[in-house]
C-alpha cells in the first residue's frame, strides 16, 4: 500500500536539501544536487534495489525479475531544480517510484521482468543551457564534444563538472542503455492548471511538446543617446523588441492548442543608460505538440527576421541551439494507464504536456507513458510550487498497478 506518511516525510527531507528563500536550488552537479542524489540512493537501497551509476551520473536502481533475460520495465524522473524552484518538479516522480519499489518489497510481489528506477541527471537547463541531458545520455544522444561545449555562467563546462564528481566524460558513450525495455513510465506534476481547473485527480499524458531553442544576435550601432537623431539610429534593442513581438504574434496565430513562443533571455550591450544599445542577444524558446506547427512558426520567424534586418539596417545572426521532436504517446499506453486509474476509482483526464520531460527521449527507444498530478494554481519552477500528497499517492498507486501488470510474463500492451 502506498504510504502518504512516508511520501510526506521524504518530500520534507528533499525540501531541506538546497533550501533557499522558501524554495530549493539544486543545480545539476552542484553540491546540493549531489547531496540529494546521495539521499535518494539510500532510499533506493532501503527499498531493496541494487544501485549503480552510469557514465553520466544517472542513478539506476534495479529489482530483479525471475526471468533475468526478459526486457525491463523502467520508471523514473529527476531531482535537480531551477534556481529557487519548487520541491515537486521531478521529485514527485522519483519518490513515487521509490514508494512503488517499497510496496513491491513489502508485499513480496513476484514479477518476471526486472524493474529499474532511473534518476536522470541535469533535466533542467538552468545550469548548462540544455535540458534533459541525463536522459539524452541514457538514450545515446549526448556526445563528448557537447560535454565540452555546454558551459555554465561561470565558464565551467559540463565535462569539467562531471570530472569534479569523479565521472569520466570521455566515457560518455558507456552511458547509453543497452538493455531491452518493455516500457518506461514517468510520474510528474502537471506544471499547468488544467487538472486543477477541471477537478481531475490524475492526468494521462497523450503527447509531449518539444522545444526549438534559438540564439538570435542583433547588431546595430552603439551611439550617444543625446547626440544621435532618431532617424539616424541603428538601435539593436528596439529591433530586438520588434523581434520579440514577432515571436509572440506568430505563436499566437497557431491557436490555443498550437505552438508557444517565449523570449526568456535578453542581453543588451553596452548596458548604459545614455548609450544606444549596439548589440543584443536573445534566447528564444519555441515549442509545441505538433511538429508541423512548430516548424511553421520557426520558418515564419526566420522570414520575419530577414525583413526586420533589411528595414532597420541592422545585422542578425540566427543559431539553432536545439531542435527536438514532439512526442505522441501511443494510444495503447494511454488507454492502458487510463483504464487502471478509472478502475481504481480516480477521476482522470487525457491531456498533452506543454513542458518537456525525460520521457520524451525514452519514447524513442521504448513504449512510454506519463501520469500527471495536479499542482496548485498551475505554479511550477517557483517556491510556491505545491501538490497534494493524496494526489501524488493516487498516481503512485496507478504506477504500482501498471508496473505489476507490465512485469507479468504473459502481459502485452494492446
Looking at the fold, whether 244 and 114 belong to one and the same domain comes out as no
pLDDT at res. 106: 92
What's the structural domain count of the chain? 2
CATH of the domain at 179: 3.40.630.10
Task: Assess if residue 413 is contained within a domain.
Answer: no
Residue 225: asked if its preceding bond is cis (omega within 30°), the reply is no
* Contact (CB, 8 A) for 113 and 53: no
Looking at the fold, whether 279 and 173 belong to one and the same domain comes out as no
pLDDT at res. 414: 67
Looking at the fold, whether 204 and 249 belong to one and the same domain comes out as no
- Concatenating the DSSP letter of every residue in 366-414 gives S-EEEEEE--GGG--SSTT----HHHHHHHHHHHHHHHHHHTSTT----
pLDDT digits (tens, 9 = 90+) for 131-149: 999 999 999 999 999 999 9
Distance (Å, rounded) from C-alpha 230 to C-alpha 233?
6
Residue 157 confidence (pLDDT) above 70: yes
Task: Assess if residue 127 is contained within a domain.
Answer: yes
Residue 229 confidence (pLDDT) above 70: yes
CATH of the domain at 268: 3.30.70.360
C-alpha cell, 395: 498516481
Looking at the fold, whether 333 and 373 belong to one and the same domain comes out as yes
Looking at the fold, whether 171 and 44 belong to one and the same domain comes out as yes
Looking at the fold, whether 269 and 122 belong to one and the same domain comes out as no
Task: Assess if residue 140 is contained within a domain.
Answer: yes
Residue 267: helix, strand or coil by DSSP? strand
pLDDT digits (tens, 9 = 90+) for 13-65: 999 999 988 899 999 999 999 999 999 999 999 999 999 999 999 999 999 99
pLDDT digits (tens, 9 = 90+) for 80-108: 999 999 999 999 999 999 999 999 999 99
Residue 298 Rama label (left phi>0; alpha psi -120 to 50; beta): alpha
Looking at the fold, whether 350 and 315 belong to one and the same domain comes out as no
Q: Among 323, 344, 363, give the residue marking a domain's end.
A: 323
Task: Assess if residue 411 is contained within a domain.
Answer: no
Looking at the fold, whether 102 and 141 belong to one and the same domain comes out as yes
Looking at the fold, whether 294 and 367 belong to one and the same domain comes out as no
Looking at the fold, whether 82 and 164 belong to one and the same domain comes out as yes
Looking at the fold, whether 240 and 270 belong to one and the same domain comes out as yes
Looking at the fold, whether 165 and 61 belong to one and the same domain comes out as yes
Buried residues in 255-273 as b, exposed as e (16+ CB within 10 A) = eeebbbbbbeeeebeeeee
Distance (Å, rounded) from C-alpha 405 to C-alpha 411?
7
Task: Assess if residue 77 is contained within a domain.
Answer: yes
Q: Among 292, 323, 354, give the residue marking a domain's end.
A: 323
Residue 356 confidence (pLDDT) above 90: no
Task: Assess if residue 198 is contained within a domain.
Answer: yes
Q: Among 323, 346, 370, give the residue marking a domain's end.
A: 323
Residue 264 confidence (pLDDT) above 90: yes
Distance (Å, rounded) from C-alpha 263 to C-alpha 281?
10
Task: Assess if residue 355 is contained within a domain.
Answer: yes
Task: Assess if residue 414 is contained within a domain.
Answer: no
pTM of the shown model: 0.85
Residue 195 confidence (pLDDT) above 70: yes
pLDDT band with cut points at 50, 70 and 90 for residue 257: low
Domain that holds residue 299: 210-323
pLDDT digits (tens, 9 = 90+) for 160-194: 999 999 999 999 999 999 999 999 999 999 999 99
pLDDT band with cut points at 50, 70 and 90 for residue 258: confident
Residue 336 confidence (pLDDT) above 90: yes
User: Longest Cα pair distance anywhere in the chain, in angstroms?
Assistant: 80
Amino acid at each position: 500500500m502506498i504510504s502518504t506518511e512516508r511520501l510526506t516525510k521524504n518530500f520534507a527531507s528533499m525540501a531541506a536539501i538546497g533550501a533557499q528563500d522558501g524554495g530549493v536550488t539544486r543545480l545539476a552537479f552542484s553540491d546540493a544536487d549531489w547531496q540529494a542524489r546521495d539521499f535518494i540512493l539510500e532510499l533506493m537501497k532501503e527499498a531493496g534495489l541494487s544501485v549503480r551509476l552510469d557514465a553520466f551520473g544517472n542513478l539506476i536502481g534495479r529489482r530483479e525479475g525471475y526471468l533475468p533475460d526478459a526486457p525491463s520495465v523502467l520508471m523514473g524522473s529527476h531531482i535537480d531544480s531551477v534556481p529557487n524552484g519548487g520541491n515537486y518538479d521531478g521529485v514527485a516522480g522519483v519518490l513515487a517510484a521509490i514508494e512503488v519499489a517499497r510496496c513491491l518489497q513489502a508485499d513480496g510481489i513476484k514479477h518476471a521482468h526486472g524493474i529499474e528506477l532511473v534518476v536522470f541527471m541535469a533535466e533542467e537547463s538552468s545550469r548548462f543551457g540544455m535540458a534533459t541531458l541525463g536522459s539524452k545520455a541514457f538514450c545515446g544522444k549526448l556526445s563528448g564534444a557537447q560535454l565540452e561545449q555546454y558551459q555554465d555562467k561561470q565558464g565551467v563546462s559540463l565535462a569539467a563538472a562531471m570530472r569534479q564528481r569523479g565521472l569520466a566524460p570521455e566515457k560518455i558513450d558507456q552511458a547509453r542503455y543497452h538493455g531491452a525495455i518493455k516500457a518506461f513510465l514517468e510520474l510528474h506534476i502537471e506544471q499547468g492548471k488544467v487538472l486543477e481547473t477541471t477537478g481531475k485527480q490524475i492526468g494521462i499524458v497523450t503527447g509531449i511538446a518539444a522545444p526549438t531553442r534559438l540564439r538570435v544576435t542583433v547588431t546595430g550601432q552603439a551611439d550617444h543617446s543625446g547626440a544621435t537623431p532618431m532617424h539616424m539610429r541603428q538601435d539593436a534593442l528596439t529591433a530586438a523588441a520588434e523581434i520579440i513581438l514577432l515571436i509572440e504574434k506568430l505563436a499566437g496565430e497557431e491557436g490555443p492548442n498550437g505552438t508557444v513562443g517565449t523570449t526568456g533571455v535578453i542581453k543588451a550591450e553596452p548596458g548604459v543608460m545614455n548609450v544606444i544599445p549596439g548589440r543584443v542577444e536573445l534566447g528564444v524558446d519555441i515549442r509545441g505538440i505538433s511538429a508541423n506547427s512548430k516548424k511553421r512558426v520557426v520558418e515564419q520567424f526566420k522570414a520575419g527576421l530577414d525583413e526586420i534586418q533589411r528595414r532597420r539596417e541592422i545585422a542578425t545572426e540566427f543559431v539553432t541551439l536545439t531542435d527536438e521532436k514532439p512526442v505522441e504517446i501511443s494510444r495503447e499506453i494511454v488507454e492502458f494507464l487510463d483504464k487502471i486509474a478509472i478502475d481504481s476509482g480516480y477521476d482522470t483526464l487525457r491531456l498533452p504536456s506543454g513542458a518537456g520531460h525525460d520521457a520524451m527521449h525514452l519514447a524513442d527507444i521504448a513504449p512510454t507513458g506519463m501520469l500527471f498530478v495536479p499542482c496548485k494554481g498551475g505554479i511550477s519552477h517557483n517556491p510556491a510550487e505545491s501538490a497534494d500528497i493524496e494526489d501524488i499517492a493516487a498516481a503512485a498507486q496507478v504506477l504500482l498497478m501498471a508496473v505489476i501488470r507490465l512485469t507479468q510474463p504473459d502481459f502485452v500492451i494492446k
